[in-house]
Amino acid sequence: MKALVFTRPSTLEIQEVDDPTAGDGQLILQVEATGIGGGEVYQLHHPGQRDFPSVMGHGIAGLLDDQRRVTVDPVTSCQTCAACTQGRRQHCSTRRIIGIHSSGGFAQQCVVPAENCHDLPAELSWEQAMFIEPFANAVHAWNVGKATADMRIGIIGAGAIGLGVVAQASAMGTSVIDVAEITPSRCVAATELGATSTLTKLPAEASYDVVFDAVGTPKARAQAVGATANGGTIVLLGLESEDPGFDATEVVRRELCLQASYVYLPDEFAEAVQLAAATSSDWIKNYSLDEVQDIVDDFSIGDYTVVRAALRPQR
Ligand SMILES: [Zn+2]
């Protein structure tokens, strides 16, 4: 099969590799679409602990041998440690993510755990399925941030995860959903999902009960602190920078709650399958293996005109 192999920092190469084989409890997925997000492009240039060569791609949808259309929850854990048995698989010390710790969906086939496959509703396109994994992050962020419909919600960044927070807030019936985003196409998508306003920056007036930072730069985090009401909550989702970027003494004096959010639980992933129905296939741009470098180059220079990109490895 063909795969897009991460061979060294900043380099993806199309290679002919052996077809994968499934072990106990695993299935072979024919990959129809895999999301290409800012996360993949960030890792491409900042590989950290990643081994080479490897195959990225953790937002995956495709066909099983029995022709079931599925999407895959990419998170696995030991299922026996204290965190796992308490329903907190994200805190498992051996948590693994397909596409990060094992080969992912940037290939024509992928090995997936059978129990992590979720059926796609017939009305959901492969394109819409590309919002499920980022939206699962958003459902988890909403839950750990203890956000409710009567709260004033601020969201920084309308990439796929930020859009998911908009979709979740809207599905809950929230009346104030303000989004800080500078890319026009993302603002349009946020508005269609139910954002009540889009701004270049959330006002530093301490007016939001919960602010979700889906960017993760020092500036975005400082913006979140300034925009959150006294006693309110900042949900940290973004991973762009290691630098906190905010005044910790202000966080103390105003009793702000800093809540980090990373991945999701199986039920939250299942909720995201439903939530993705609110998206439009038009927000997705498809790329064959040969075309992927185009979108990697765009994202690498911060051009996010394409709201969500999908690798279509069968094309
Ligand atoms: Zn565990």
Binned at pLDDT 50, 70 and 90, residue 13 comes out as very high
Report the pLDDT value the prediction gives residue 38, as an integer from 0 to 100.
85
Residue written as token pair 């993760």: 216
- Comparing CA positions, the residue from 207, 212, 201, 215 lying closest to residue 155 is 212
Report the pLDDT value the prediction gives residue 215, as an integer from 0 to 100.
96
Q: Give helix 160-171 / helix 184-193 axis angle, nearest 10°.
A: 20
CATH of the domain spanning 2-131+279-311 = 3.90.180.10
CATH topology assigned to domain 138-260: Rossmann fold (3.40.50)
215-257 pLDDT tens trace: 999 999 999 999 999 999 999 999 999 999 999 999 999 999 9
Distances (CA, A) of 117 to 41, 133, 207: 25, 12, 41
Domain range summary for the chain, segments of one domain joined by +:
2-131+279-311, 138-260
Find out whether 147 and 155 touch, Cβ atoms under 8 Å. no
198, two tokens: 């889009």
CB under 5 Å of ion ligand 1: residues: 77-78, 81, 84, 92
CA of 96 to the centre of ligand 1 (A): 10
pLDDT above 80: residue 49: no
CA of 97 to the centre of ligand 1 (A): 13
Write the DSSP symbol of residue 107: B
CA of 89 to the centre of ligand 1 (A): 6
Give the mean pLDDT of the chain.
97
List Cβ neighbours of 172 (8 Å cut-off, separation of 6 or more): 142, 147, 148, 149
Same fold, 2-131+279-311 and 138-260: no
Rounded percentage of the chain residues whose pLDDT exceeds 70: 100
Bridging pattern class, strands 11-16 and 96-97: unpaired
CA of 143 to the centre of ligand 1 (A): 21
Report the pLDDT value the prediction gives residue 50, as an integer from 0 to 100.
83
71-91 pLDDT tens trace: 999 999 999 999 999 999 999
Specify the pTM.
0.97
CA of 79 to the centre of ligand 1 (A): 5
Across residues 32-50, what is the average pLDDT? 90
